A and B are shown apart, each in its own frame.
Chain A
Amino acid sequence: MGCPAMSEVDYADVQGLVRFGYGHMTRASYALVKVKNVTAAKSWLLSASITSAVATKPPPVTALNVAFTAAGLSALGLPQSVIAGFSHEFRGGMTEESRARQLGDVGKNASLNWAWGGNGREPHVLVMFFAEPGQFDSFIESAKGNTWTDAFEELTWLGTSDLDENEPFGFADGISQPQIDWEQQRQTPCSQIEYTNIVALGEFLLGYRNEYGKITDRPLLEPDDASAGLLAAEDAPERKDLGRNGTYLVMRQLEQNVRNFWQSLYQQAGGNLAETDKLAAKMVGRTKAGDPLVPIQPQPIPGMDPARAQQNQFTYESDQAGARCPFGAHIRRSNPRNSDFPERRIGALRKLIIMLGLGPRGFHDDLISSVRFHRILRRGREYGPELLPADALASSPSNDPERGLHFVCLNANILRQFEFLQNAWIMNTKFSGLTGESDPLLGNREAIPGCPVTGDFTTPGDGSLRRRISGLPQFVTVRGGAYFFLPSLRAIRYFARDGSA
């Protein structure tokens, strides 16, 4: 494609969360705040030691990252003309009515019922605190410093819990993550058929080339005294790039009804524990230990973390009928891997024939959108006390605490990445030729016109009739959410400079 060479990433300018999940910092808290006093808020931002993406040895024991909603940037005095340079989704917000419909935030998920993010409870700033256990409380106090109380009105604090890399239903989580091409070595061909786990830097960081070889829109500023500290835009060197080294952060509080999940499945499985586990694994696409239901392939997948290969080096090529991992399984919906092209390892002529739609005519061919444009980087944390599957079958005590996931993902294009995934793959009742079912874990089971039933789950048979269970209840309820901009450190200093209010 002949892309001009891009300059190297200045890790000191990127917030650490983009590069690290801070796994060893097992304690974390998220403060959702509103700006109370602009001057104090700016002074807090200027003095805060935001953790960058520079790798250190030993790694830091605490980390602090911040992100802003569109309303938050406005509250800090960023002019509307600049905010207009951010994406439609970020500006419109997660709760906008049509968007809510697309995301499945209707019925019990409606923002009207949210603990935060809806009606008058929209945060301005998300402040994320991470630390190793011993350091946590003192770190929060010192990070808040003495301007915090003047600067912000706290909407809520979201606590997290360390479930030892499991999510609350009891399944190993976070196994599959895209590998970011930090070195910007990746060529981005128009059509790539092979599944790869390496994803262009511009998919996760603004100001760099994405999977289309293009740089995603973000606010570009005229150079002046105020913007002097910002980097120049790669594609418009005469202008300053407010987005560069920043990205968008999607946060959703997902309440998981662990008891209901295991009890419903137990009932569906006729009260047989082994069958219950099998059904749950079919719904997830992995066993509780995290092993995929399709076999690991011998040949490596580019960009696959070798440490994870034992659980992640697979595609669905060996399971095109969905007999091992159902089409509707959670991991097959959220990353269909290589299901987006009917044949692999083919010559140019065959490829042309397929492109013209004159190739194979199997029912399941070509039902999936091109996967590589729809990857997200997950950075969420669990909350609530652990409840083991075996204990979940017991009836709920009257004061059963809430459990779930503070889902956090990073992407440079919310619409094409998070929203697409949520809409076209997770919530879609017509995913991959299915009908009458959405994601078995996340589905809201709401009727849509012409489809009264959305609570099925189908397990294709291997040469026999499929099993279809129906009437799945809603296991996961959205309790809050917002779109944030996770700026570069330079952009934070720009937001926090004097005189912009």
Chain B
Amino acid sequence: MTPQSNFMVLAPIDPKREMELRQLLDSMNRAPGRVDPNNDLIPFGEFETLHFARLIILDDKTTEDIRVYGLAPRSYPLYLAFLGDIDGDVSAFLGKLIKRAGKGLGRIFSCCEGFDSDTDLLAWMRQHHAPAIAAYVNWRGRTVRQIREEAALYEALENYIEENATVLRDLTPLECHANLRDFITAEKSAGRLSLSEESPTPLGWQIKNLLHLIGLPLLVLIALPLLIVIAPFYIIALRRLEKTDPEVCPIADQKHCENLSRFEDHDITNQFSAMGSLKPGFVRLLTTIGVLKTVNYGARHITRRGRLGRIRSIHFARWVFVASTERMVFFSNYDGSVESYMDDFINKTGFGLNASFSNGIGYPRTNWLVLDGCNDERDYKEYLRRHTLPTQVWYKAYPGLTAVDLEMNTRIRQGLESLSMSDEEAREWVALL
């Protein structure tokens, strides 16, 4: 299995060059929300291990909200973030990226502070690496290559079935499965289809993953006596905050909303980037870190492939602190419109949403961390929309395919590769086609 990993470069923008940067980013698109995968600056389409990428100016308009706590807002520099989700490890990818797109990256990053013509690009990117505190991968181990091969497989089956429908329809599911398997075997030997074998899982990754799997519970276990002592105080403090923290959910500005929409619904999948400040104080910071570490652990070791709780529409997602623990940004790639995305979160995974976002300033009031909150649906949506940032450049390696499509194709392939099937399994498999 080839595990997926992610990278993010975060750098303050030279204020004098912000306009130039915006123009550069715009030049990578054919139209707003529609990237040119072969654009001159970063030809995303040439990187065969890149799933998603985005370039975004983290222009958070909500920093004033902290005034509700009687605190003066800080003036933050404007940041540029460049992030991607890839197969394999980051070093190898960055090496390839710089080799092919070093010039374009240089042009983009030259609009940031501390980057000039003789800067070592790789060293600079590493230096500006912003790690995710929590990350989610829809289907660990499924590579871009596999996705494309399986999409081609689906296409080939679809065409074959269309031509042979009358014959195939009279077959039992098991006979149908055998017939299609023969067809695919023939296609593979003729070199018209390829279904690559899974690469071996890197040993280093396996060890790290195992350590992570047992490490966190072990740590919790060791700290348990302390946690038990602290828990009542923590709960009292959190409850007090939950009752007093002000809500800031005004109706989002109409122009802002319309601008966000310009970048959405061009593909069947959408990007999402939302940013905000954490509520002040140690309790909220601790809660944020605790919740996100738990989310990260759950996403890595507990969730089923293809699901995040009951949600099946998210390809990749991550939470990242922006330069300090004061502000946080959340990125995701999801299928469908933003309304259905928010709706699924509220109705299917509201508890997770509350736990992970309620530490942001202004979030609709929660109780016991997971209750209420986003159930105030309208306030929540205004809150989220107000915190959403337009994503200037967004790339997806497999346009037109949803996470559910990918799962369907993978299931079809797995079924084809299985040598024996029960009647019931064959029925279910045939129903996928």
State whether these chains interact.
Answer: yes
- List residues of chain A with CB under 8 Å of any chain B CB: 84-85, 88, 91-92, 96-99, 101-102, 190-191, 210, 212-214, 216-217, 321, 354-358, 361-363, 366-367, 369-370, 373, 413, 415-416, 419-420, 423-424, 428-430, 433, 435, 448-451, 460-461, 463-468, 470
Chain B: which residue is nearest A322 at the CB level? B431
Contact in complex: B267, A464 (CB < 8 Å): no
> Across the interface, which residues of A come within 8 angstroms of B350, CB to CB?
190
CB atoms of A448 and B340 under 8 A apart: no
Per the bound structure, the CA–CA distance linking A271 and B336 in Å amounts to 38
Q: Are A217 and B251 CB-contacts (below 8 A) given A357-B309, A369-B343?
A: yes
- Of B62-70, B194-202, B371-379, the one contacting chain A is B371-379
Using A102-B265, A367-B312 as known contacts, say yes or no to A415 and B176 having CB atoms under 8 A apart: no
Contact A424/B376 with A451-B400, A461-B169 known, Cβ cut-off 8 Å: no
B267 touches A373 (CB 8 A): no
Residue of B with least CB distance to A214: B376
Residues of B within 8 A of A (CB-CB), count: 66
The answer on a CB contact under 8 Å between A449 and B402 is: no
- A355 pairs with B309, CB closer than 8 A: yes
B221 contacts A by Cβ under 8 Å: no
Q: In chain A, what residue has the closest Cβ to B405?
A: A435
Q: A354-B310, A424-B339, A429-B268 are in contact. Are A465 and B430 (CB under 8 A)?
A: yes
Given A98-B262, A99-B261, CB of A464 within 8 Å of CB of B339: no
Residues from chain A with a CB closer than 8 A to the CB of B34 are 449
Q: Are B261 and A98 in contact (CB under 8 A)?
A: yes
- Residue pair B431, A466 in contact (C-beta under 8 Å): yes
* Cα A84 to Cα B335 with chains together (Å): 30
Q: Does B433 contact A (CB under 8 A)?
A: yes
Determine whether the beta carbon of A464 is less than 8 Å from that of B347.
no
Closest 8 CB pairs of A and B: A450-B400, A450-B399, A98-B261, A370-B347, A357-B307, A451-B400, A424-B340, A357-B309
Q: How far is the CA of A34 from the CA of B339 in the complex (A)?
A: 32
Pick the residue among A321, A357, A450, A465 that contacts B168 (CB under 8 A).
Answer: A465
Are A430 and B343 in contact, with the CB atoms below 8 A? no
Q: How far is the CA of A85 from the CA of B382 in the complex (A)?
A: 13
Tell me the smallest distance from the CB of B258 to a CB of chain A, in Å.
6
Residues from chain B with a CB closer than 8 A to the CB of A367 are 312, 404
Is B171 engaged at the interface, CB distance under 8 Å to the other chain? Answer: yes
Assuming the contacts A98-B262, A448-B267, A450-B401, asked whether A465 and B339 have C-beta atoms less than 8 A apart, the reply is: no
Distance, CA A25 to CA B236, complexed state (A): 62
A-B contact pairs, 18 of them (CB 8 A): A92-B254, A96-B258, A101-B265, A213-B375, A321-B431, A367-B312, A367-B404, A369-B340, A370-B348, A373-B343, A373-B347, A419-B339, A433-B404, A435-B408, A448-B400, A449-B400, A450-B401, A464-B172
Residues of B near A97 (CB, < 8 A) are 262
Asked if B5 is an interface residue, CB under 8 A from chain A, the answer is no
Cβ of B337 < 8 Å from any Cβ of A?
yes
Partner of A366, one of B176, B257, B312: B312
- Evaluate contact between A423 and B340: CB separation under 8 angstroms: yes
Given pairs A355-B310, A370-B348, 14 additional interface contacts (CB within 8 A) = A92-B258, A99-B261, A217-B382, A357-B310, A357-B311, A366-B348, A369-B344, A370-B343, A373-B347, A448-B267, A449-B34, A450-B398, A464-B170, A464-B176
Binary CB contact string for chain B from 225 to 256 against chain A (1 if under 8 A, 0 otherwise) = 00000000000000000000000000110100
Q: What CA separation (Å) do A226 and B270 show in the bound complex?
A: 45
Report yes or no: B427 in contact with A463, Cβ–Cβ below 8 A.
yes
Shortest A365–chain B CB gap in Å is 8
Is the C-beta of B165 less than 8 angstroms from some C-beta in chain A? Answer: yes
Do A363 and B343 form a contact, CB below 8 Å, given A92-B258, A190-B375, A357-B303? Answer: no
B residues in contact with A190, CB < 8 Å: 350, 375
Q: How far in angstroms is the closest Cβ of chain A from B365?
A: 12
Query: For window 305-347 of chain B, which residues contact chain A by CB distance below 8 Å?
Result: 307-312, 335-337, 339-340, 343-344, 347
Task: Determine whether the beta carbon of B402 is less than 8 Å from that of A430.
Answer: yes
